[in-house]
Chains A and B, each alone.
Chain A
Amino acid sequence: MSAPATEGTRKGFPGELVGAVLLAALGVYLLVDAGAITIPNSSNTVGPRFFPYAVGGLTLATGALLALRVLRGDRGPADDGEDVDPDAPTDWRAVAVIVVAFVAHALLINVVGWPLAVALMFAAVATTLQGRMTPQAAVRPFLIGLTVGCVVWIVFVKALNVALPGGTVLEFLTSWF
């Protein structure tokens, strides 16, 4: 197994410290906001605040302990997988493109329909992961994405009655179903 290559090789500022501190902050938020939950008069014993306090306390303690451990040099081994290159530097551009493309497609669904929105997202993601970001390289991913989007839409909407906006063109073309 290639565990030694992945464990503790990332240098520089530990991102996990941010995660641990945010977790502790989440614990504080839970403890503070739990006090704001209304307790109805009817509940005479343990009300809706009890469990949030418990979870908040546990979260704060875990976050604080984890932050301490990270500061003392403990690093979690990053996840491995068949398609993950443990030695590759983080490709932040790919992550950014996926996030932007996905949020854009979410906002586009009700405008241009799910198949087209998803085809654009598919094209952006696949083109980026290919590593060639030219308009020509995006044609094939877009066509594949559009085909997948339309087929999935027809199966789920026409056969399974899932509510999914299809966009004007596709809805018109399939209105005879």
Chain B
Amino acid sequence: MGISDLLGGFADAITPVNLLFALLGVVLGTAVGVLPGIGPAMTVALLLPATYVLEPTSALIMFAGIYYGGMYGGSTTSILLNTPGESASIMTALEGNKMAKAGRGSAALATAAIGSFVAGTIATLLLALVAPALVQVAINVTTADYFALAVLAFVAVASVLGSSPLRGLASLCLGLYLGLVGTDVLTGQERFTLGVPQLSDGIDVVVVAVALFAVGESLYVASRLRKGSVQVIDHKGSWMTRQDLRRSWKPWLRGTALGFPFGVMPAGGAEIPTFLSYAAEKKLTKHPEEFGKGAIEGVAGPEAANNASAAGVLVPLLTLGIPTSATAAIILAAFQGYGIQPGPTLLTTEGPLVWALIASLFIGNAMLLVLNLPLVGLWVKLLRIPRPYLYAGILTFASLGSFAVNADPLDLVILMGLGLLGFAMRRFGWPVAPAVIGLILGPIAETNLRRALAISDGDLSVLVDSWFSRVVLLLALLALVGPVVLRVVRGRRATPTEVAQAQEEDREVQKAGDREGWGA
């Protein structure tokens, strides 16, 4: 099945129009990925209105390009910009930034771009192989199982993303509430609309996503804008020497092996695998003295892990309809905009669309390598955009995207209201992603829950009827309680850096113990 379907996908993706949209997607994705303050989730959200005018295949190919492009662009920013950035690329920044300062910026950019290409290609291939097999399993999933999966995704996203599980839950609750506003799908009753007629259709996903990401971020940055001119480090030196390559290829493969499975898991996202990859490379390197001063392995591994997890996130999205990152949630909303519900039946009902999407990921990846290596100078210019214009521009596009939905100025007022919420969340350290996932996955979870309970005549035991749902709900419970227990034991939840330090210390203790013979 797989190979011929994939070849068919390539045939669809190589049409001039779709190639053009793939190119448009990767160019836009790289451009906005390079721009500080704009992540892939915000870009996809801002461009969601494009689904009103484009046909599904073209739009989804473009979104896939944006998704991958954003990952490439982000690494350029973290290597060349002299300030710390977002969490997923912070591991790249650790060594990449040092390399750039030491005059080896070009080598850092090259290992990041080639590593992203290698990881993206292998991970997309894994996606093409795993997806059909997973669909075979998922096709027997009941509505109760589905609800259990949604619960696991909620809990995992809330407790993994951000600084504390409770703050993740707070954000999730806000998203679930926003998802409830509007007309109940199953009975047609209005809920929480406050009698405002515009709210009876619900609050549009575009408005919420753009508000929380674009407007919230603009307000937050404006409140604490780094003054003075933007400092960009020159990228100098040769692209890649033979020795760089020798030191890079193993970290690329190890990063891919770490990133993909983590992306597939319901607690997806790139934060954990990039951190693990960094820790692994630091342990395995033959040049431990370079770590912290610009070791190429510390760029190669985390970058590969970052991109592999991006492909991994697409597995639960395309086979189960479960988004595990904010970007995936917004891509899911794009599918829904076309009346397509991702889930186990997606590969059978929309096979050609999905395979064209996967094929375009391969094509987009190759385009990105070309765009990012020889043309990197172009993107570096974008890094220098004066920040007042950048954030005014983000607000301009936020206005465009949200107004285009219904042509109603009230939407823009709601946008600003929710933007202030996003601003407050950033100040309090509440992660934004759980809110977006709650908003989009909440209604799906409710529908499945009620269908399951309708079949069982309201008997709640149907929710733990199958082994599948029991295991999944148990995992959800562990994800919820685990961090709390850990915090009680250790005082509070550790950040990745602290975990790294702790592991380092553990190893030291272990070594000392071995030496003194306690180990036995």
Name A residues whose Cβ lies closer than 8 Å to a Cβ of B: 1-3, 15-16, 19-20, 23, 26-27, 30, 33-34, 37-40, 42-43, 45-48, 50-52, 55, 58-59, 62-63, 65-66, 69, 74-86, 88, 90-92, 94-95, 98-99, 102-103, 105-107, 109-110, 114, 118, 121-123, 125-131, 141, 144-145, 148-149, 152, 156, 160-164
Chain B residues with CB below 8 A from A99, complex form = 219, 416, 420
Chain B residue, CB-CB nearest to A97: B222
**The 4 nearest A-B residue pairs measured at CB:** A76-B429, A106-B412, A82-B36, A129-B388
- CB pair A91–B428 under 8 Å, yes or no, is no
B398 to chain A minimum Cβ distance, whole angstroms, is: 9
A125 touching B395 in the complex, CB below 8 Å, given contacts A58-B173, A59-B177: yes
**In the complex, A94→B492 CA distance in Å?**
35
A23 touching B173 in the complex, CB below 8 Å, given contacts A95-B423, A98-B222, A164-B403: yes
Among the stretches B83-91, B134-142, B301-309, the one at the interface with A is B83-91
CB-CB contacts of B396-417 with A at 8 A, as 1s and 0s? 1101100110010100110110
- CB pair B225–A91 under 8 Å, yes or no, is yes
Chain B residue, CB-CB nearest to A122: B392
- CB pair A83–B389 under 8 Å, yes or no, is no
B residues 1-58 near A (Cβ < 8 Å) are: 36-37, 49-50, 52-53
Chain A residues with CB below 8 A from B409, complex form = 106-107, 109-110
- CB pair A106–B413 under 8 Å, yes or no, is yes
Name B residues whose Cβ lies closer than 8 Å to a Cβ of A: 36-37, 49-50, 52-53, 77, 81, 83-86, 90, 94, 162-164, 166-167, 169-170, 173-174, 176-177, 180, 184, 186-192, 215, 217-227, 387-389, 391-393, 395-397, 399-400, 403-404, 407, 409, 412-413, 415-416, 419-420, 423-430, 442, 446, 449-450, 453-454, 457-458, 492, 495, 497
Chain A residues with CB below 8 A from B225, complex form = 83-85, 88, 91, 94, 129
Chain A residues with CB below 8 A from B81, complex form = 82
B291 to chain A minimum Cβ distance, whole angstroms, is: 15
Report whether over half of chain B's contact residues are helix, strand or loop; otherwise say mixed: helix
Chain A residues with CB below 8 A from B227, complex form = 85, 88, 131
Chain A residue, CB-CB nearest to B183: A48
- CB pair B400–A152 under 8 Å, yes or no, is yes
A22 to chain B minimum Cβ distance, whole angstroms, is: 9
A102 touching B396 in the complex, CB below 8 Å, given contacts A15-B427, A40-B189, A91-B225: no
**In the complex, A33→B177 CA distance in Å?**
12
> With contacts A30-B192, A83-B83, A106-B415 known, what are 17 further pairs, Cβ within 8 A?
A15-B427, A16-B429, A27-B173, A46-B449, A46-B450, A46-B454, A77-B163, A77-B429, A81-B86, A90-B223, A90-B224, A103-B413, A114-B400, A118-B400, A123-B392, A162-B404, A163-B407
- CB pair A141–B388 under 8 Å, yes or no, is yes
Chain A residues with CB below 8 A from B215, complex form = 102
A23 touching B416 in the complex, CB below 8 Å, given contacts A98-B218, A126-B392: no
Task: Indicate which residue in A76, A88, A123, A131 contacts B224 across the interface (CB closer than 8 Å).
Answer: A88
**In the complex, A49→B84 CA distance in Å?**
45
Task: Indicate which residue in A43, A51, A82 contacts B77 across the interface (CB closer than 8 Å).
Answer: A82
Chain A residue, CB-CB nearest to B397: A152
Chain B residue, CB-CB nearest to A107: B409
- CB pair A81–B395 under 8 Å, yes or no, is no
- CB pair A51–B187 under 8 Å, yes or no, is no
- CB pair B189–A85 under 8 Å, yes or no, is no
A144 touching B180 in the complex, CB below 8 Å, given contacts A47-B187, A83-B221: no
**In the complex, A69→B430 CA distance in Å?**
14
A104 to chain B minimum Cβ distance, whole angstroms, is: 10
- CB pair B388–A78 under 8 Å, yes or no, is no
